[in-house]
Amino acid sequence: MRPLLAALALILAAGPALAEPTARVVGGNIPVYSGPGRGYPIIGRIPDGTTVPLEYCTRRDSEWCFIPDTGWVLGSYLVGWSGKIQVTPPDFMGPGW
C-alpha cells in the first residue's frame, strides 16, 4: 500500500504541467529560416496542418516566430495567437536589430 501512496503523492506534488504555446501551420509547405528574416537561409519546410510549439515571436516588419529545435517562420503562416503574444526577449541581437 505504501508504494501506491508514494506514487500518488509524487503525482499530486508535480501539479499541472504548463501547456506550451502552440500554433497550426496554414498555407502549404512553409519555409523555415535560420533567423527572423527572408535574408536568412531556408533550412527546412513544415507541411500544412502541422501543430508546432512556439517559443516566442518578434514584432518587427513581418512577424516572425521561433519554433524550438526547428527555426523561424513567418507568423502569418501560423494560426494560434496564444503563442504569438510573447515577444522577442530583449537580449536577442539578430542582424538588423
Best CA proximity match to 68, nearest among 79, 57, 48, 54: 54
CATH topology of domain 17-85: SH3 type barrels. (2.30.30)
> pTM value?
0.65
| Annotated domain spans of the chain | 17-85
Q: Rounded to whole angstroms, how far apart are CA atoms 32 and 38?
A: 10
Residue-wise over 1-29: b if at least 16 C-beta within 10 A, else e?
eeeeeeeeeeeeeeeeeeeebebebeeee
Strands 22-25 and 51-53 turn out to be antiparallel
Summarised one tens digit per residue, pLDDT across range 42-52 is 999 999 999 99
Q: What average pLDDT does this structure show over 49-62?
A: 79
Q: What is the largest CA-CA distance in the chain?
A: 62
Quick one: pLDDT band at residue 58, thresholds 50, 70, 90?
A: confident
Summarised one tens digit per residue, pLDDT across range 65-94 is 899 999 999 988 888 755 455 555 555 555
